[in-house]
Amino acid sequence: MFGTVWRPAVSEPQYNIPMRTIAILALICGQALAAGPIVDTAKSPHAAFHPVAITSVKMGSGFWEDRRKINLERSLPSMLQLFEQNGWIDNFRRLSGKAVSRRGPLYTDSDVYKWMEAVAWQLAAGDVPQLRADFDRLTDIIVAVQEPSGYLNTYYQEDQKPKRFTEMVRSHELYCLGHLLQAAIAYYRVTGNRKLLDAGIRYADYVVSRFGVDEEPAMTGHPEFEMALAELYRVTGQRKYLDFAGYLLSGVETQRLHLTPAQTKYAFSGSPFTGRTIFEGHAVRAMYAASGATDYYMETGDPAYQDTLDRLWQDLVSYRLYITGGVGSRASGEAFGEPYELPNAQAYTESCAAIATFMWNWRMLLAFGESKYADVMERSLYNGINSGMSLDGTLYCYRNPLESTGEKIRNEFYDTDCCPPNLERTFAALPGYLYAASSDGIAVNFYHTSTMDAHGVKISQTTEYPWNGRVELRIDGTTNKEWNLRLRIPAWSSQTSITVNGQPVASQIHPQPGRFAEIRRAWKAGDIVVLNLDMRPRFTSANPLLREDMGRVAVERGPLVYCLEQGDQPSLRLFESSLTQTGEFKEERRPDLLGGLIVLHHAGTETAAPLKGASLYQTFPSPPLPKRPIDLALIPYYAWANRGPSNMEVWIPLGGL
Ligand SMILES: [Zn+2]
């Protein structure tokens, strides 16, 4: 009926999909290509998905649009003010003669560039004259101090000038340039203004001509530049930028740069990327390196990169990914730990590392078109990234632990202020992640009320996700042309139903968790697709080898990880409370609480306070302490620490009376 033809979701990786993609879709729909995606894989021969232009997606009200409104109205203006107060902008003005000393660590330029990238993506949703003026003003300040050679960095000046490009493991020079380019490309894609882009190209040309196998040796030290180079190649069509990314990723300069194994491990650069077998060292560096390597793969199809990326992704999800989508267990070196080394209270889980995980999995989704990458993105976004910014948009987490005894975790500014503008650019760019074109249709990667108008197809999506699993999509703009609508079925959705114009389609092929459901049909204007995802709260247990979580469960509902916070049970001793295995969850809608959310209630127990004088150690087995039944109230993890420092726990002991 309705001419719907179902095909099972593919189970094997969609490697090396030929470059028909948008061209075919454009042919189907009779439309020209749009410009302005976050990562532009329109011409990438080894990309399965091609994001639609961010300007072609409008987000309607809901979970993320509330966040984005606060980001626009509070976070972006207040962060610019803080940059001014802390001297980040004066670091540039100083080079134009302003009599101030340089302030902050050597990478402050990148914080400003990330903020500018956030502004650029935000402007895609509609003009904001003040923000646009701020961007242009900053551009003038920055471009004014670019040296004739193209070099542009506020730290390596005066007495530091002789050290330029001599301490690449720590210098962040290429990292800062990478962020400059990403801000410039974003602004160019959204507004057409290329003043900053031209400055970035001058600097990139300086670097590309000075370094290389037959020139001076280089490494990124803090990877990031690789991604920017790939994007610069996509913008300009100039192969030299991609080739330079390949040179950096090849890591052939270990000897010429006298790098030690400890340095190449920490920096996740300076040795061949394709020789990597595990994630180790500095978590953000490693994830950015993998992101750049995926960009490089999408352009070259080099099988050695594909093998390495597959191996690293398996390493990530098998051993190193927190349930919140954060990575990087150790404070020391901001680093990955050993397999299963995922401490809760001591988790470092820098906001930037969760963002980098999101960015890498975005590129893996684009490369291979598999839903599992979007699942990781969603886990990071709703939890370990979302926790990074306070609900009022003015305080930020650097660390995102999974257990707390009340430390002050949110601050308005950090001397190393990488995370705040990174969060801001991520939220600003969200519309660009929702939809992508594939070889034969449109994929809906994420669910949020929105409209998409690209490639001759209009999709109007209405949903209260993540609070409600019902998603309605109305298709317009297409006239009886056959194409595939791909809907991502998250791995956690055990029971999913899909109807087209009220008729169930599950009888033909059951939508499989963790795959894209494909609905292929000759779509007509006004067709309505309704997807129902399984939002029942669930207990999640960890691999038994993750000893930290032994005997404990996490509570999840849809994409949200929940936690116990003291404020919701003020009279309980939180760390002596357990969840009871039996019993149902009760959902309580609380529009008044923490920006509006669903509280989950579940039966639990509280262990009686120990008797005075009771010994600390006893011969095993010790008699059990009495317990009393209690009601435990859980809130989404992202919302914790918005009522001041507080006890909090994600992995909760499972006990019983
Ligand atoms: Zn950070």
Residues 6+ apart with CB under 8 A from 361: 373, 374, 376, 377, 380
Q: Which two tokens stand for residue 258?
A: 């006298």
Alpha carbons 173 and 492: distance in angstroms, whole number = 42
Q: What is the Cβ-side half-sphere exposure of residue 283, based on CA atoms within 13 angstroms?
A: 30
- Using pLDDT thresholds of 50, 70 and 90, give the confidence band for residue 506: low
Which residue range(s) make up the domain with 604?
Answer: 538-655
pLDDT value at residue 24: 37
**Each residue's pLDDT tens digit, 286-329:** 999 999 999 999 999 999 999 999 999 999 999 999 999 999 99
Q: Would residue 358 count as lying in a domain?
A: no
Angle 108-123/173-191 helices, nearest 10 degrees? 20
Distance 353 CA to ligand 1 centre (A): 7
Distance 347 CA to ligand 1 centre (A): 14
pLDDT value at residue 144: 98
Mean pLDDT of 489-514: 86
Angle at 340 between CA 336 and CA 342, to 5 degrees: 65
Residues with C-beta atoms within 5 A of ion ligand 1: 350, 352, 418-419
- Using pLDDT thresholds of 50, 70 and 90, give the confidence band for residue 35: low
CA distances to 52, 277, 286, 583 from 299, rounded to whole Å, are 18, 22, 20, 52
Distance 288 CA to ligand 1 centre (A): 12
Q: Would residue 252 count as lying in a domain?
A: no
The dihedral built from the CA positions of residue 336, 340, 341 and 343, taken in this order, carries a sign that is positive
Distance 421 CA to ligand 1 centre (A): 9
DSSP state of 302: -
**Each residue's pLDDT tens digit, 507-553:** 446 689 999 999 999 999 999 999 999 999 999 999 999 999 999 99
pLDDT over 90 (residue 50): yes
Q: Is the Cβ–Cβ distance between 439 and 131 less than 8 Å?
A: no
pLDDT value at residue 342: 98
Q: Is the Cβ–Cβ distance between 595 and 588 less than 8 Å?
A: no
Q: Would residue 566 count as lying in a domain?
A: yes
Alpha carbons 175 and 227: distance in angstroms, whole number = 10
Q: Would residue 282 count as lying in a domain?
A: no
Q: Is the Cβ–Cβ distance between 466 and 42 less than 8 Å?
A: no
Q: Is the Cβ–Cβ distance between 277 and 262 less than 8 Å?
A: no
Residues belonging to the active site: 334, 418
In 10 A of CB 94, how many CB atoms? 19
Q: Is the Cβ–Cβ distance between 647 and 634 less than 8 Å?
A: no
Q: Ramachandran region of residue 325, left (φ > 0), alpha (ψ -120 to 50) or beta?
A: left
Q: Would residue 542 count as lying in a domain?
A: yes
pLDDT over 50 (residue 31): no
Q: Would residue 78 count as lying in a domain?
A: no
**Each residue's pLDDT tens digit, 588-634:** 999 999 999 999 999 999 998 877 888 888 899 888 888 999 999 99
pLDDT value at residue 10: 30
**Each residue's pLDDT tens digit, 373-415:** 999 999 999 999 999 999 999 999 999 999 999 999 999 999 9
Mean pLDDT of 86-110: 97
**Each residue's pLDDT tens digit, 148-194:** 999 999 999 999 999 999 999 999 999 999 999 999 999 999 999 99
> What does pLDDT average to over the chain?
93
pLDDT over 70 (residue 65): yes
pLDDT value at residue 657: 61
Distance 398 CA to ligand 1 centre (A): 6
Q: Would residue 630 count as lying in a domain?
A: yes
Q: Would residue 428 count as lying in a domain?
A: no
pLDDT value at residue 609: 80
- Using pLDDT thresholds of 50, 70 and 90, give the confidence band for residue 34: very low
> Count of domains in the chain?
1
Distance 556 CA to ligand 1 centre (A): 26
Among 97-106, 366-375, 571-580, 602-611, the least confident range: 602-611
Distance 352 CA to ligand 1 centre (A): 4
Check residues 88 and 506 and name the one with the higher pLDDT: 88
